[in-house]
């Protein structure tokens, strides 16, 4: 294939000139054209210079999805200023870290979140605020119509510092270039088999790579983004129908949440052709495909490798497929040698396209050195190949527990527990053991209207897991704290052993 891996931001001006009234995106039904978005982005870029923000510096953005947020991001890109996306749900030490570690020159924030920022960091310790909404400055700035005539940033200049979700520890700032985000969008076109006239339904926040990678899409293909303010399982299909969407994206437990909605006669009455994303369990794949009548296209990747590395366009249930044309994938065992046929190993990504892999984590040389070795990205993920060379994903290597001399994958235990009739979602961690290495603690959230009896669940798991995999502790929770992509924040789960069911006590009785 012929691949253009240049940047993308210059294409906005081209589309604004060639098709000024063409629709770039709709947000909750409100359209923004290419020309309007270009004007707003240029106005913001001009304002950055007026405030002394120079090319190569950084600006943090703590905004919910919306047309104004898109204009800010494109304005930063035009000015060659690195975008620091900040999850609007962040609070406390986590927020303080994101607003201080990358040393932003400015913080753009929704008006109702400004107080949170001020409480988190005193004025002397943070960058100035630019407030959006409720008589804030931003709307006026975007409407000035000021032009911006500076040279478009090169493909290898920094587009964003995207902090990893931090499900198991402190986030790391991935340095994402303009080239990487262009490649991520080109990958989406392959994964989702894009056709002219397609409509992509976008629920995911732009401050996550899953949303950000779609920003260039209407500039590269004849596609419209249909955006909503947040994910809602109960309203999802009505919104999809209203927007006449052809594609939906999933991550985390999104498909499971949709499946757990009450079945309706019109479940297949929509225009969605493809559901694409990552993390679709085996038992969910067929159920979702058959109930809603859509093709599942699973992919695998990391922000560090331009978001997407492999994709499955053959419909092989459970596989994440083969590498994109510009990547190769190897599996390395614990000794650093290639894994044997059928053996699991660490997923290692290589490329012959300069700039397709990230250059490092911001101000974190140790983490960078662990991830980038000999020109390859060592992902920390476990995988295996089937007989046809398709990659099978087995979860994070570090997301495991050493129990009774065996390594127990959280992914494997969670996928079994998720099949229990009353479980809506679950998460497994390791906790201190009385004897030996660790014991397993499983957290379960019941479906609406259901109750979970830990004793009954424990007995059910006993028949479906190896003895060393069966959780000793089971905690029933009302809700999980989640990342922007709906992944459970495991590092915030309680490691106490006295606040939950203990299987050992059951045995003693």
- Asked whether residue 378 is assigned to any structural domain, the reply reads no
Q: Do 371 and 304 touch, CB atoms closer than 8 A? A: yes
The Cα 465–Cα 416 span in angstroms is: 8
Cα–Cα dist 295/316, whole Å: 11
Considering the chain, what is the average pLDDT of its residues? Answer: 92
CA distance 191 to 195: 12
Q: Is residue 342 situated within a structural domain?
A: no
Q: 357 or 401: which carries more pLDDT confidence?
A: 357
Model confidence at 169: pLDDT above 70: no
Please tell me the predicted confidence (pLDDT) of residue 220. Answer: 97
CB atoms within 10 A of CB 507: 9
Evaluate whether residue 473 is within a structural domain: yes
Q: Is the pLDDT of residue 134 over 90?
A: no
Q: Is residue 295 part of a domain?
A: no
- The CA distance from 316 to 314, in Å, is 6
CATH number at 432 reads 3.30.300.30
Structural domains in the chain (count): 1
**Confidence bin at 171 (pLDDT 50/70/90):** confident
Give pLDDT tens digits for 418-474: 999 999 999 999 998 876 678 999 999 999 999 999 999 999 998 888 787 899 999
Measure the CA–CA gap between 10 and 469, rounded to whole angstroms.
53
User: pLDDT category, 507, cuts 50, 70, 90?
Assistant: low
Partnered with residue 58 across adjacent β-strands are: 82
**Which domain covers residue 416, as residue numbers?**
400-508
* Residue-level pLDDT at 509: 47
Q: What is the pLDDT of residues 369-401, one digit of tens each?
A: 999 999 999 999 999 999 999 999 988 787 878
Distance from C-alpha of 463 to C-alpha of 489, rounded to nearest angstrom:
28
Residue 479 inside a domain? The answer is yes
- % of the chain exceeding 70 in pLDDT: 96
User: Is 181 in contact with 213 (CB distance < 8 Å)?
Assistant: yes
Query: Largest Cα–Cα distance in the chain?
Result: 77
Q: What is the C-alpha end-to-end distance of the chain, expressed in Å?
A: 66
Residue 130 located in a structural domain? no
Count of residues making up the chain: 509
Is 157 a residue whose pLDDT tops 80? yes
This prediction has a pTM of 0.84
Q: Tell me if 485 is assigned to some domain.
A: yes
* Mean per-residue pLDDT, 96-116: 96
């Amino acid at each position: 294939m012929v691949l253009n891996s240049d940047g993308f931001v210059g294409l906005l001006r081209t589309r604004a000139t060639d098709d000024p009234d063409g629709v770039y995106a709709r947000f909750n039904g409100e359209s923004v054209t290419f020309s309007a978005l270009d004007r707003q982005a240029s106005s913001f870029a001009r304002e950055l210079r007026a405030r002394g923000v120079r090319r190569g510096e950084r600006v943090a953005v703590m905004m919910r999805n919306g047309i104004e947020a898109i204009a800010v991001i494109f304005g930063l890109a035009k000015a060659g200023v690195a975008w620091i996306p900040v999850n609007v749900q962040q609070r406390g030490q986590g927020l303080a870290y994101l607003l201080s570690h990358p040393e932003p020159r400015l913080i753009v924030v929704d008006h109702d979140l400004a107080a949170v920022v001020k409480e988190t960091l005193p004025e002397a310790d943070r960058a100035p605020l630019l407030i959006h909404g409720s008589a804030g400055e931003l709307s006026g700035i975007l409407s000035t119509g000021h032009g911006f005539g500076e040279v478009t940033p090169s493909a290898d200049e920094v587009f964003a510092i995207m902090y990893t979700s931090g499900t198991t520890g402190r986030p790391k700032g991935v340095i994402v270039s303009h080239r990487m985000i262009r490649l991520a969008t080109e990958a989406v076109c392959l994964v989702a088999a894009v056709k002219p006239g397609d409509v992509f339904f976008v629920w995911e926040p732009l401050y996550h790579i899953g949303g950000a990678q779609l920003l260039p899409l209407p500039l590269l293909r004849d596609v419209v983004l249909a955006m909503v303010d947040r994910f809602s399982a109960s309203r999802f299909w009505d919104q999809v129908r209203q927007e006449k969407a052809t594609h939906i994206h999933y991550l985390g437990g999104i498909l499971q949440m949709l499946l757990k909605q009450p079945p309706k006669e019109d479940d297949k009455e929509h225009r969605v052709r493809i559901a694409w994303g990552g993390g679709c369990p085996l038992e969910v794949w067929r159920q979702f495909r058959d109930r809603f009548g859509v093709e599942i296209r699973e992919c695998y990747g990391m922000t560090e490798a331009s978001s997407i590395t492999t994709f499955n366009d053959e419909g092989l249930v459970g596989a994440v497929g083969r590498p994109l044309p510009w990547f190769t994938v190897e599996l390395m065992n614990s000794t650093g040698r290639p894994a044997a046929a059928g053996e699991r190993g660490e997923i290692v990504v290589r490329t012959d396209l300069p700039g397709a892999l990230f250059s490092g984590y911001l101000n974190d040389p140790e983490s960078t050195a662990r991830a980038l070795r000999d020109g390859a990205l060592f992902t920390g993920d476990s995988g295996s190949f089937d007989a046809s060379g398709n990659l099978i994903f087995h979860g994070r290597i570090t997301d495991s527990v050493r129990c009774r001399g065996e390594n127990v994958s959280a992914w494997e235990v969670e996928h079994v527990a998720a099949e229990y009739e009353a479980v809506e979602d679950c998460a497994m961690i390791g906790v201190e053991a009385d004897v030996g290495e660790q014991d397993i603690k499983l957290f379960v959230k019941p479906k609406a209207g259901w109750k979970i009896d830990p004793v009954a669940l424990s007995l059910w798991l006993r028949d479906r897991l190896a003895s060393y995999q069966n959780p000793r502790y089971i905690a029933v929770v009302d809700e999980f704290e989640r990342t922007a992509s709906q992944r459970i924040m495991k590092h915030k789960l309680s490691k106490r052993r006295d606040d939950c069911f203990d299987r050992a006590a059951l045995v003693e009785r």
